[in-house]
Structure 1
Amino acid sequence: MKSEKELVEGILSGSEKSLRIFYGECKPKLTNFIRQRVSNEKDVEELVQDTFMAALEAFRDFTYRSSLYTFLCAIAKRKVIDFYRRKKLKRIIFSQMPAIEPLLSILTTPEDKLDEKLLTQKIEETLNALSPQYRRLLQLKYIEGWSVTKIAQEMTISFKSAESKLFRARQAFVAAYTQE
């Protein structure tokens, strides 16, 4: 078996054999490490692949002060944190606006505080950019917490029509949100 330094140097020089050895030796342990933190198996596999890709990019900076596995786990921890942060942001976009507060409380760095402020501002601007009808639909559903049935009754439209309009309102929100 090659030493970790030989393995990394082999990978950096383009050795397919070194890459296969590295992947074969580290994948099972890394998968278990991530599986302890993420329950969905598809997400686990995606995070394992993302971690390996990030490790390959970071090998040039690897100083051998820790084991290769420790190095991988450090990358995996960041990937898992990013995964949950993205997941939470997606949920917030279509949830009640007060739910932004718990997200904001977990952000700690000045950059994160700025991101928090920008995210809140972006969501408000996006809602304001929508037509009054779409804005009202999204406010009733995600801010007021109304059911589709209640929205349909309030707007004197059928349930299916309310569902359809809500779907279009969400699409308009996503389109406006992603537009720069």
Structure 2
Amino acid sequence: MSGFQEIYETYSRPVYRFLLALTRNETMAEDLLQDVFYQALLHIDRFEGRSSLYTWLCQIGKNAWLKECRRQKHHETCPVEKMVEIAAQELTPEEQVVQREERMRVRQAVQQLSEPYKDVFILHTYADVKLKEIAELYEKSETWARVTYYRAKQKIIQEVSK
């Protein structure tokens, strides 16, 4: 068995679960998984060992997902659209308009965030990635991830409140 085959067998399931949490779409997660391991095979020489192999593969997956979101530019594909969810109750037409406007303001606020605030916020809020894992992706401390997430939230609240 080749070394890369062992890597695939060891990490394909956990990386797939990460991508599924990120995309919330099985087909997209499967497509991205293939892209992750293709890119990893092409660039295995760039793996420096400063993080775990799992973290490196997830970083490749996160970048592939963000690239796909930008490429498609379909807001339904990216979970940023789901920031403000519609309440379970029936909404009046006026409430629906207000809800749409709120979603638009939140989407714009998230998109205006600079890096790494945008990535940290999206990964933690929508992909349910733990702050500890985000810290590993960025090769930073968990405290850095917590502070970055908190600041991103505050920036969004401030922007939406204007």
Superposition TM-score, scaled by structure 1 size: 0.42
More helix by share: 1
Instruction: Kindly indicate whether structure 1 or structure 2 has the higher relative contact order, using CA contacts under 8 Å at least 6 residues apart.
Output: 2
Superposition TM-score, scaled by structure 2 size: 0.46
